[in-house]
Structure 1
């Protein structure tokens, strides 16, 4: 499959928001395109995240979103690979790997020490994909959340 990966800007907001909404629906969240659009617009306006879109046949069919973090051991910037999604009609064509590879390239371009991510234990596809892409499973840490 021929594809192209492009860095998203505000001119890609509608397209990115459509995919982001589908991604959230995949994770059992309410369908809310307008809220997704506002969220991404704020991230892009404030340079709080970086989004790369995968295009196939001229249509955006996937994305990855990265947030800047800092690693306490390496004492360097790293990127949180927060969101990765490929439309179901285009899965199995290497687009997830291409988006991860572009994220790794972004680390090189920005002088970051690497990428980190988390996924649900039930995400069988992701849990097979990430080791294939060179990610190491960290079984030593528990991740906890606090929500207000």
Structure 2
């Protein structure tokens, strides 16, 4: 079953996010995961969906909206994760398509996503996203931590 996440899902969902970030070698504290997840669930410009099996959360996707001059409304598929024990059943496609549909329903003229080198090496995600209609943009992603 796929459904939209609510505030009551934060504890269990935060634990699954911690597994996701560890798998992709992304350093995020448990406190930050809980805090940011709770904030996303209260913001109309963000959404998180869950996949459940026997009442347990086994996967998730999330997306956000932003407004800019180049594209107007755009969306980033922030996260997509299925616990390794539940992969290969089409859940990632379903969660991903749910996020894409939400972005388009909310007026996104562009949808972007980022793939870490670790995720590509472990899971070959570029091929997955190409099958979903995405292409490489040729742009370089850079960032600066807000702590600097």
1:39 lines up with 2:32 in the alignment: no
Task: State the TM-score, normalizing by the size of structure 1.
Answer: 0.83
Cα deviations by residue, 1:121-148 (Å, 9 ceiling, x for unpaired): 4414211110011111112x12222222
For residue 24 of structure 1, the aligned residue among 12, 21, 24 is 21
Moved beyond 3 Å, runs of 4+: 29-35, 45-48
For residue 107 of structure 2, the aligned residue among 93, 96, 111 is 111
Task: State the TM-score, normalizing by the size of structure 2.
Answer: 0.83
1:8 lines up with 2:5 in the alignment: yes
Show structure 2 runs of 5+ residues with no match. none
SS in 2 for 1:83: strand
1:80 lines up with 2:87 in the alignment: no
Question: Which one is further off, 96-105 or 30-39?
Answer: 30-39
Cα deviations by residue, 1:92-121 (Å, 9 ceiling, x for unpaired): 111111111101210233222242101124
Native 8 Å contact 1:55 1:61 kept in 2: yes
Match for residue 51 of structure 2? 54
Distance 1:33 1:121, change over 3 A: closer
SS in 2 for 1:112: coil
Show structure 1 runs of 5+ residues with no match. none
